[in-house]
């Protein structure tokens, strides 16, 4: 059982939304240190101030672009030297590069999505995984997506990045299970969460918008119990079963009827200025 109490926890994309909520839950559960990485300095500063006002002083914030290997390695080295080994790593940072048919995506859209949603997760984990192996203890939590189980019209680049992240997460889990020690991987696959990231989406039938605080609580509970997969809402567990029972064409009819395949049609998402910092090299402590 992974313990939050007295653990060093790092959350990427922890400056707002579900990342901030997970960080708060870890603080409330008594983590030794909470390390927050985010690409938006304003969000970092506001979150640290909010947590400080709640009485939590053991919060360390770093301005990091997880798709930039230099950023990741520099910040990772500072964390290891100044704070110590990370016991629980929550890979939460991610983006959705708009809603359009695949042929309308630019190469920049594709690169940015893959760089953050796949490469970024690997970059960050690579920095801390060897120390976890040395101490024979550690937990990697990957916030993936329900789209790792489904095709997503108008979101093919996002969905493909999450399929890739899921494949990597599963492979890492199997590798760690062959090593000696208390080493775990949890893959979290939520449907749409009611944050700015998915502004404008229309929640499908049976898969209502997830409330951030409750979702964070479910995730932390899954970490504590070393749960391998967490699909949210619970009805999402029907998807792998239905895909196994029905032919692809019949499943498509069902998914379309539920509104899954049209859920991104009204997507707005966050404004670009909310995601990109003025300077990636400035760090807040």
Distance in angstroms (rounded) separating the CA atoms of residues 219 and 141: 9
The sheet that has 88-91: what strands, in order across it? 59-63, 33-38, 8-12, 88-91, 137-143, 182-190, 229-232
**Residue 46: closest CA among 117, 54, 71, 220:** 54
Which stretch of DSSP H or E encloses residue 135? helix 120-135
From 105, 123, 149, 158, the catalytic residue: 158
Which stretch of DSSP H or E encloses residue 36? strand 33-38
Distances (CA, A) of 230 to 39, 132, 187: 26, 23, 6
Answer yes or no: 192 catalytic. no
Active site residues: 158
């Amino acid at each position: 059982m992974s313990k939050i109490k007295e653990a060093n926890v790092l959350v990427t994309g922890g400056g707002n939304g579900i990342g901030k909520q997970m960080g708060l839950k870890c603080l409330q559960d008594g983590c030794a240190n909470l390390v927050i990485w985010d690409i938006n300095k304003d969000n970092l500063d506001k979150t640290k101030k909010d947590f400080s006002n709640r009485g939590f002083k053991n919060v360390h914030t770093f301005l990091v672009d997880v798709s930039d290997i230099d950023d990741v390695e520099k910040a990772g080295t500072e964390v290891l030297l100044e704070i110590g080994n990370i016991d629980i790593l929550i890979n939460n940072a991610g983006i959705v590069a708009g809603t359009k048919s695949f042929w309308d995506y630019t190469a920049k859209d594709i690169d940015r999505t893959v760089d953050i949603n796949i490469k970024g997760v690997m970059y960050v984990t690579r920095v801390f995984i060897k120390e976890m192996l040395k101490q024979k203890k550690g937990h990697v939590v990957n916030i993936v997506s329900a789209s790792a189980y489904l095709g997503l019209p108008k979101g093919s680049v996002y969905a493909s990045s999450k399929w890739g992240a899921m494949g990597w997460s599963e492979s890492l889990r199997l590798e760690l299970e062959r090593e000696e020690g208390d080493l775990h991987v949890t893959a979290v696959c939520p449907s749409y969460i009611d944050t700015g990231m998915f502004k404008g989406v229309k929640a499908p039938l049976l898969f209502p918008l997830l409330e951030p605080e409750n979702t964070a609580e479910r995730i932390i509970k899954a970490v504590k119990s070393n749960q391998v997969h967490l699909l949210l809402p619970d009805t999402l567990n029907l998807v792998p079963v239905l895909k196994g029972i029905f032919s692809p064409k019949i499943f498509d009819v069902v998914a379309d009827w539920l509104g899954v395949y049209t859920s991104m049609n009204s997507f707005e998402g966050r404004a670009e200025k909310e995601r990109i910092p003025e300077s990636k090299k400035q760090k807040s402590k």
